[in-house]
Amino acid sequence: MTAFHEPGRDEHNGTAGSLLAGVDIGGSKIAVLVADRSLAVRGRHLARTDVGSPDRAVDQILAALDAALADAGGSRIELAAVGVGVPGRVDRASGTVSLAVNLGWERLPFGSLLRDRLDRPVEVENDVRAAAAGLHDRAVLGDLADLAYLSIGTGISAGVVLGGRLHRGPRGMAGEIGHVVLDPTGPLCPCGLRGCFEALASGPAIARQAEVALRSGRTSSLESHRPLTAVDVFDHAAGGDPLAFEIVEAVGGWIARAVHELVMAFDVRRVALGGGVASAGETFLAPIDRGLDRLRDASPLARAALPPDVVAVLGAGAEVGPWGALILARSALRDAGRPARVEEVADA
């Protein structure tokens, strides 16, 4: 049983505090958004830090939260509930993070730790799933009951909303398409398979493709930028470098293929693209559009499945992660007001 179900504490929940906080934890930053109960933004804070050891993580997160609350002209006293998006596998009922590779967390009872420190309702969810639920809730892609959010960064995964509800799956694995094989003759993925989506289009995969090409003797303006990042490759593609353009073009083709798969499998109406790689903007989007057009031109079925507005790129300014976490906070507040929560979880 978690802190907010203990007798004598329930009177706090759903009543005290006027502010909601959404915390998005990444490998190199913590982004916090603070809003009132009607979701009007009141403050924000971006801490450029990694969460370090699990022991120090809660302290670092609370420091970022306090800074965002201060930006909103408030403090923890005004806090009603907190939502946290974590890049890893999360048991939403307990808030335990079973595995977050990029954070170095394993079986961390993160939700409990945070509830104990804050004495407030806390909801923890995988960051990409939270983002998808947030996009749906705020109708960012229009009034759609079926959509996907495809996050392309260090890793790749999708959050899927079906019939107006976030689809997690019985093992919380739904949307883990980063390790779906798109090219059986493609490069070896760290997961062990060949040609996974992540091995073709993630940030590290893009940088690796450029490195391999340079090592094989290709000339490119990228030569002076080693060690390379995906950002370098997109920058040089925009600058007209043929090798960088070639790589970015291929990446767009694979992402178009993945969008096609998401649409055919789930029948989602639109797919939002986000994550670090998506921040390259037009240089990122144009090759995807060309990839989608190749599919549409080849197949009437693909044309019907992939309407002109099927993809939407959401840059860093869209704050997709923190917004998803903020929607989680509202959900935590609602759940805390319902005495049946513990039984529901037991029934699930």
With respect to its own copies, which residue has the nearer C-beta, 92 or 257?
A: 257
Edge-first strand listing for the sheet containing 79-86: 41-47, 30-36, 19-25, 79-86, 122-126
Sheet strands (E) in 75-215: 79-86, 89-91, 96-100, 105-108, 122-126, 147-152, 156-162, 165-167
Cα 177–178–181 angle (5° rounding)?
A: 80
Residue 142: phi and psi, rounded to 5, are 105, 180
Smaller CB separation from its own copies, 57 or 199: 199
Name the residue nearer to its own copies (CB basis): 160 or 326.
Answer: 160
| Contact (Cβ atoms closer than 8 angstroms) between residue 327 and residue 83 | yes
267 vs 344, beta carbon nearer its own copies: 267
- Minimum distance of its own copies from residue 90's CB (angstroms): 14
What tokens appear for 283 in the block?
């240089």
Alpha-carbon dihedral sign for residues 58, 60, 66, 68: negative
The least CB distance from residue 326 to its own copies, in Å, is: 25
Q: How far is the CB of 86 from its own copies (least distance, A)?
A: 18
Looking at the Cβ atoms of 267 and 282, the one nearer to its own copies is 267
Give the nearest distance from C-beta 297 to its own copies in angstroms: 8
Instruction: Give just the sign of the alpha carbon dihedral 205, 234, 29, 77.
Output: negative
> Nearest distance from residue 176's CB to its own copies, in Å?
5
Residue ranges binding its own copies (CB under 8 A): 144-146, 162-163, 167-177, 179-185, 189, 191-194, 257, 260-269, 295, 298-302, 305
Least Å distance, CB 144 to its own copies, is 8
SS3 187: coil
Q: Which amino acid is at 337?
A: G
Q: How far is the CB of 329 from its own copies (least distance, A)?
A: 24
Nearer to its own copies, 34 or 295 (CB): 295
Q: Regarding beta strands 41-47 and 30-36, do their DSSP bridges make them parallel or antiparallel, or are they unpaired? A: antiparallel
* Owner of token pair 């909601």: 20
Closer to its own copies at the Cβ: 269 or 334? 269
Which among 121, 107, 83, 93 is positioned nearest to 3, based on CA atoms? 121
CA 123, CA 31: separation in Å to the nearest integer? Answer: 16
Report the distance separating Cα 207 and Cα 173, nearest Å. 27
Q: Burial of 221 by CB count in 10 Å (0-12 exposed, 13-18 middle, 19+ buried)?
A: middle
- Residue nearer to its own copies on the CB measure, 193 or 213: 193
Minimum Å gap between C-beta 201 and its own copies is 14
